[in-house]
Amino acid sequence: MSKRQFGLIYISSYQARLFIVDLKKMTILEQLNSAQFVQGGKKFEVYENELPRLTDALIGFKRKLAEYGIDNCKVYGNRQLLDKISARYLSDQIKIRTGLDVEWLNGAQIAYYKIIAGMALPQFSELAPDESTYLLSTGSAMLNLTLFKGQNYVSTWDFALGPEEIEEMSAMTRDTPIDPIDIISDYISRKLVSFKTIEKPTGKSRLIIQHVSSQGEQSLKPHERAQVIEQETFAKVYNDFKEAPDQYLMEKYNLTVDSLARMKPTIVLVNQLNKVIKPEKITLTESSAITGLMLQEAARLKYRPDEYSTIVLTATKNIARRYESGGKHSNLSNKFALHIFDRLAHAGMVDKRDRQLLEIAARLHDIGNFINFHNHYEHAAYIIDANQIIGLSDRENAMLISILKHQDITNLNDEEQGYRSLDPAVQVRVAKLAAILRLANSLDASRKQKISKIVVSIKDDQMLITVTSKSDLTLERWVFEKNVPLAQAVFGMKIAMKQKRGK
């Protein structure tokens, strides 16, 4: 069958779904949904309680994929309501019963794919450079608000507003004569203290709301014409939710009891956002994280241009800026690290996929100074552990944390818990990236940017780094020599630095 046909299985705490997609046309050829999972108790318990129904659905999906003759199939699971250990147990049980491997997506990855989906909407090609667009995405555990200036990604803010929070609100409003919308409004205001940090528009602005339909992920077309509603129309909807009884709302808006409970806080939140950003337009779209997953696969197979690499880098720079890092030293370390990496990649000594991870580490290695200069590398790792980089998987975040932790010691500490928890092959990748970054950092040990240029040559089991500088490099040489042993050990060759006097 044609390589352009792709099967995607997406597992959430509500149901499992199969999408068979033509990646070239970005159209759904067929979609199958499992029965809705029985909700109750803690959301993470749904996976365990509904495992037989889930595995039956997955086996049925495999039959459908076989009918189409599709070999290119990926299975994704929403891990926002699962801890890492439970996700591993569940993956193993699914593998045993169905033969399928599940890739679990954390909250930062899901937010990333929602952003990709938003950027593919036709409105983005129409945006003026000074126009602000706010992308509001609801989900099973988090609510994400993303800002774009023109067609450029700026930043994302996350708010905990999942099923547990909604249940809290439902419990508060169930037995009270007070208007439930007023209580929900107060609750959300309490949650959204971070609104103070959100950049306000300086010119025209618009608000795009994703995943609006109860059939949310059915539309995967990037050229989907989303529905635009006027402020007057939204005001009427808000007034309905504020004044009308639940039965009336369910009938008028075709909502279930659960979807109504989820819709109320969303309506209140949009109303509050209206007051903050004052958008000229409100756009409703069914696009979601699944749309982004499809777009990524199409880009990987060259059916679409990959226009999304700047998202992760911009998010990285935002974190560096927040912790007062990212100046000339970080920029130069990044430049040198990538140059060394590229030469090693040309020689087949590093995995080319790790280039982006090295750049992130180079731009963030000094953020720990915000807490304390002493052990700043440990503090940098702590900050990243608490602020996952948007778009990175759990494994990539673990690798990044380990790289940052090992910037100030002579050798990688194989007793360090995070490092030992990585797969042996991943440990080697971490060691290589840590060694490269330490070499690059040593070339600006004085923080005075004495070296203007480097040339890396690899020949006969030796790597020579020729640096151009007219300054005294005694400190740089001393720090470089301290960091050479690790690099020599992981790359299996002698490493030396040579100075070339600049003009």
Nearest to 145 by CA among 208, 188, 90: 208
Question: Is the model's pLDDT at 195 over the cut of 70?
Answer: no
Q: What pLDDT is attached to residue 192? A: 64
Give the pLDDT of residue 223. 47
Contact between 55 and 98 (Cβ < 8 Å): yes
- How far apart are the C-alpha atoms of 108 and 71, rounded to whole Å? 28
CA distances (Å), origin 9, targets 54, 74, 167, 207, 227: 12, 6, 28, 30, 27
Using the predicted structure, report yes or no on whether residue 456 has a pLDDT greater than 90.
yes
Which range, of 35-49, 302-316, 326-340, 372-386, averages the lowest pLDDT?
35-49
Confidence at 375, pLDDT banded by 50, 70, 90: confident
d(CA 300, CA 293): 11
Spatial distance between the Cα atoms of 28 and 219, rounded to a whole number of angstroms: 8
Beta-bridge partner residues of 481: none
- Is residue 427 scored above 60 in pLDDT? yes
**Phi, psi of 466, deg, nearest 5:** -95, 120
* Residue 497 predicted with pLDDT over 90: yes
Pick from 196, 206, 96: nearest CA to 149 = 206
Domains of the chain (ranges, CATH numbers): 5-105 (3.30.420.40), 109-296 (3.30.420.150), 309-500 (1.10.3210.10)
Query: What is the chain's percent helix, strand, coil content, to nearest 5?
Result: 50, 15, 30
In this structure, what token pair is assigned to residue 187? 């609750």
Q: What is the pLDDT of residue 469?
A: 94
Lowest mean pLDDT among 138-142, 292-296, 386-390: 138-142
Q: What pTM, to 2 d.p., does this model score?
A: 0.88
CA distance 173 to 182: 10
> 408 or 347, which is more confident?
347
Burial (CB count within 10 angstroms: exposed 0-12, middle 13-18, buried 19+), residue 94: buried
Q: Are 294 and 217 in contact (CB under 8 A)?
A: no
pLDDT at 253: 85
Contact call for residues 284 and 230 (beta carbons, < 8 A): no
**Rounded alpha-carbon distances, angstroms, from residue 304 to 7, 24, 394:** 17, 8, 26
| 460 backbone φψ class: left, alpha, beta (φ>0; ψ -120 to 50) | left
Residue 421 has pLDDT above 50, yes or no: yes
Spatial separation of the C-alpha atoms in residues 220 and 222, rounded to whole Å: 6
The residue-averaged pLDDT of 145-170 equals 78
Q: Are the C-beta atoms of 98 and 115 separated by less than 8 Å?
A: no
What integer pLDDT is reported at residue 222 of this predicted model? 44
| Mean pLDDT (the chain, rounded) | 85
pLDDT at 1 (0 to 100): 56
pLDDT at 220 over 50: no
